[in-house]
Every structure is written in structure tokens, then in C-alpha cells.
């Protein structure tokens, strides 16, 4: 069954404990969008916030680093309670080393590619990634429309990760709602990130998450 990673970017930041309580028995991961105002034109939160909610749940923390110079902060985010640390290919000069460093910290290593970034970046580092994140919007904000041109790339990514000698999750992020969720599930995604479709929905999180999985509500 496809995994759902609700993004707290669309949650009520003044009440994160309550928001996590609403989703924790329905979600598979919790997605944290860390933005630095440099790599993306928005600022969110850092490791102290992640650490402060680590006690709320044992669900894996799926930390999406949209920051320049991620190497500088890997240990801090690892210590904050992250389980998966995902870096953007566009931010790394020495990508193999960065991904290897994440694994050396005992965490799962994720590689994110923006919509315009070729899949070739993943080919050369396949042996050091545990998760490949295909962005289906340009990162920076929630509630943006899904870019349909990314669908063939998701299908190619699925074929690519089948060639690895270990399991790699195929995650998608941006513009995921019940209709686009069906498209990306069909394309082979195994983890769907969803912010507004979970936290800004008129449905309760349980129902919203079921719809993203393609289950009957
Ligand atoms: C975008 C973030 C996403 C965002 C998705 O920069 O990486 O995780 O929260 O939001 P929705 O699901 O509303 O498109
Ligand atoms: Zn994200």
C-alpha cells in the first residue's frame, strides 16, 4: 500500500502537537519542509521545532531540506530526531559524499530533484540513496498546481530504482490531491507527500488520507 507523508507546512503552526495528534494514527511518515529563504523564496523552521515534536509520535520523520549548504546542518537535523534526511541535488556540490554522510549518521538518505532537474543525477548515486523524491512542483510553497510533465519522469524513476540492489522509496511532493494521487500511484510512486490535501481539506485527516491512498472513504 502506498505510504502517505502529510506535510506540516499546511498545518496550524501555533498548535503543532494537536495537528500531529490528528494525523498520527492514519499517516505513515510526517513530512517536515525546511526552507531557508535562499534555495527557495520562503522560510519555515529548523531543527529545534522538529526536536520539540519528536516526543509526540514514533512515526518516521521525513525531513525535506530545501536549504543551501545542507552538509553544514546534517548532524543537527539528525540529532533533532529525523529518520529520513532528503537533500536537493541542486544544492550539493559533492552529492555522493553528502548522501554517504547522511547514512553515516545512521539516517536514511533521500535525494530530491526539482521538476527541471534531470533524473540522471540519481543514476550515479543510486547505491547511496534510500529514497528518491521527484518534485511535482517547484519547491517553496504549499497548494501549488501539480506539474503534469513530471509524470513520465516518475515512471522512468520507477524503472531506475528497480535496477538498484536495495529498496528505494519513490516519493512525490507537490500538488497531490485525490486525482493527482491516482496518477502518481499508477506511475509507481510509493510515498505521497500531501500538505493542503490533508490539513486544508474539509474532510477529517483520516478520510483525506484514505482518499489519497485510493481507498474508499
Ligand atoms: C513544497 C513542499 C511540499 C508542500 C506540498 O515546497 O516541499 O512538501 O508542503 O504542499 P501541497 O501538498 O499543498 O502541494
Ligand atoms: Zn516537501
pLDDT at 217 over 80: no
Calculate how far, in angstroms, residue 143's C-alpha sits from the geometric centre of ligand 1: 7
pLDDT of residue 216: 78
Q: What is the pLDDT of residue 120?
A: 97
pTM greater than the 0.85 cutoff: yes
Our measurement of the distance from residue 116's CA atom to the centroid of its chain's CA atoms, rounded to an integer in Å, reads: 17
pLDDT digits (tens, 9 = 90+) for 71-120: 999 999 999 999 999 999 999 999 999 999 999 999 999 999 999 999 99
Decide: 194 in ligand 1 pocket, CB within 6 A.
yes
CA-closest residue to ligand 1 atom 7: 139
- Check pocket membership of 6 for ligand 1, CB cut-off 6 A: no
pLDDT tens digits, one per residue of 145-180: 999 999 999 999 999 999 999 999 999 999 999 999
**Ligand 1 mean position, distance from CA 9 (Å):** 7
Q: What is the pLDDT of residues 9-33, one digit of tens each?
A: 999 999 999 999 999 999 999 999 9
Is residue 165 annotated as a catalytic residue, yes or no?
no
Residue 199: its pLDDT value, please?
98
Atom number in ligand 1 closest to CA 195:
12
In the residue annotation, 33 being an active-site residue is answered as: yes
Index of the ligand 1 atom closest to the CA of residue 139: 6
The confidence score (pLDDT) of residue 213 equals 98
Pick the catalytic residue from 36, 62, 130, 173.
173
Provide CB contacts within 8 A for 63, sequence distance 6+.
32, 34, 50, 77, 80, 82, 83, 84, 85, 86
Amino acid at each position: 500500500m502506498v505510504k502517505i507523508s502529510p506535510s506540516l507546512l499546511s498545518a496550524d503552526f501555533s498548535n503543532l502537537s494537536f495537528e500531529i495528534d490528528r494525523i498520527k494514527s492514519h499517516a505513515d511518515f510526517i513530512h517536515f519542509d525546511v526552507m531557508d529563504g535562499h534555495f527557495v523564496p520562503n522560510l519555515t523552521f529548523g531543527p529545534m521545532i522538529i526536536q520539540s515534536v519528536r516526543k509526540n509520535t514514533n512515526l518516521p520523520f521525513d525531513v525535506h531540506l530545501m536549504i543551501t549548504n545542507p552538509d553544514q546542518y546534517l548532524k543537527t537535523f539528525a540529532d533533532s530526531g529525523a529518520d529520513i534526511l532528503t537533500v536537493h541535488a541542486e544544492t550539493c556540490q559533492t552529492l555522493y559524499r553528502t548522501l554517504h554522510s547522511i547514512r553515516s549518521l545512521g539516517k536514511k538518505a533521500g535525494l530530491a530533484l526539482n521538476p527541471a532537474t534531470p533524473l540522471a543525477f540519481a543514476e550515479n548515486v543510486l547505491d547511496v540513496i534510500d529514497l528518491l523524491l521527484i518534485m511535482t512542483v517547484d519547491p517553496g510553497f504549499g497548494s501549488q498546481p501539480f506539474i503534469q510533465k513530471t509524470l513520465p519522469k516518475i515512471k522512468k524513476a520507477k524503472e531506475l530504482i528497480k535496477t538498484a540492489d536495495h529498496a528505494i522509496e519513490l516519493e512525490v511532493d507537490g500538488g497531490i490531491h485525490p486525482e493527482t494521487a491516482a496518477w502518481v500511484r499508477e506511475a509507481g510512486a510509493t510515498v505521497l507527500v500531501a500538505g493542503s490535501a490533508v490539513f486544508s481539506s474539509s474532510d477529517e485527516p483520516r478520510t483525506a488520507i484514505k482518499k489519497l491512498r485510493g481507498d474508499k472513504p
